[in-house]
Amino acid sequence: MSNLLLLLLLGFATGILSGLIGIGGGIIVIPALVLLFGFSQHQAQGTTLAMLVPPIGILAAWTYYKAGYADLKTAGLLCLGFFFGGLLGARIATGLPNVILQRIFGVALFLISLKMIFGK
């Protein structure tokens, strides 16, 4: 199977999971790009952020909004914070060695998984 088709399938599966349970870029796409496609951690993170720039989730968000499950004020504030936080985070990340960035990412996923599994 060509990389083009695999990338389309990865995006499709991630879109399903994002719409279904709100996960995607950080949990699915970044590890897949690193482990399956040989991307560096920096390339995977940058590519995933670039994927999010266009209104990829607009239809899923609109569906949630129509059902009364999207708080636009909160989303707007999160977006504003994400806009500036993303800039700062990217500047820090691009200055780190790849191995350090991979370890930070792995620790973050590990801690999140422990909280999700054992938290209240």
CB atoms inside a 10 Å sphere around CB 64: 16
**Residue-level pLDDT at 22:** 65
Predicted TM-score (pTM) of the model is 0.67
**Residue-level pLDDT at 21:** 66
In order of 16, 32, 97, the CA distances from 56 in angstroms are 12, 19, 30
**Residue-level pLDDT at 55:** 62
* Helix axes 72-94 and 41-52, enclosed angle (nearest 10): 150
**Residue-level pLDDT at 103:** 92
Which of residues 16 and 90 earns the better pLDDT score?
90
**Residue-level pLDDT at 56:** 64
Q: Hey, what are 61's tokens? A: 């968000």
- Residue 45, exposed/middle/buried by CB under 10 A (0-12, 13-18, 19+)? buried
**Residue 33 to residue 9: CA distance in whole angstroms:** 12
pLDDT in tens, 4-19: 899 999 888 888 777 6
**Residue-level pLDDT at 38:** 92
**Residue-level pLDDT at 79:** 75
Q: Token match 């060509």: residue?
A: 2
Q: Hey, what are 60's tokens? A: 């899923």
pLDDT in tens, 26-82: 788 888 888 899 999 889 888 888 787 666 678 878 888 889 887 788 878 877 887
